[in-house]
Amino acid sequence: MSEPTRIPAPDGVAAAAQYSHVVMGTGRFVAVAGQLPLDEHRRLVGEGDPQAQARQVFENLRRCLAAAGATFDDVVKLTYFVTDMAHMPAIRAARTAHIPDDRLPAASAVQVAALIHPDFLMEIEAFAVLSE
């Protein structure tokens, strides 16, 4: 299986903190829709608790990736949509539980005014590439 190539700091670009600037892969592309802090019964996990919500979102991402035959090792891009940037440490902690620092994907973090439900603090989407 061909591993994605990660470039945390291309020449002339400031070194990335907590992500890779470029991730290249070859093979089958997998897009995982933005995941929310809901359990399998559509119940909110962690009302008002960014740590609990981040853990649930990453568990949902893991399950979605597995359904496509992928793992977090195949993830090349994460996009974080947060209602408050103060939730990023909780998201990073949950991410670290699934993705080691030497395998960080490209990433974007966007603060949004609101998500689909007022109790959701975050939504995270993933893109992965599986070798053929």
pLDDT of residue 106: 94
Task: Name 3's Cβ contacts closer than 8 Å, sequence gap at least 6.
Answer: 73
Instruction: Answer whether residue 6 shows pLDDT above 90.
Output: no
* Pure H helices in the chain: 50-67, 88-98
Confidence of residue 17 (pLDDT cuts 50, 70, 90): confident
Local structure of 21: helix, strand or coil: coil
Whether the predicted pLDDT of 112 surpasses 80: yes
pLDDT of 18 higher than 90:
no
pLDDT of residue 1: 54
Supply the pTM of this predicted model. Answer: 0.88
pLDDT of residue 121: 98
The model's confidence at residue 97, banded by pLDDT at 50, 70 and 90, is very high
So what's the pLDDT on residue 47?
A: 98
**Span 109-126, average pLDDT:** 98
Q: What is the pLDDT of residues 27-86, one digit of tens each?
A: 889 999 999 999 999 999 999 999 999 999 999 999 999 999 999 999 999 999 999 999
Six-digit token pair at 50?
Answer: 């960014």
Domains of the chain: 25-130 (3.30.1330.40)
Mean pLDDT, rounded, of the chain? 92
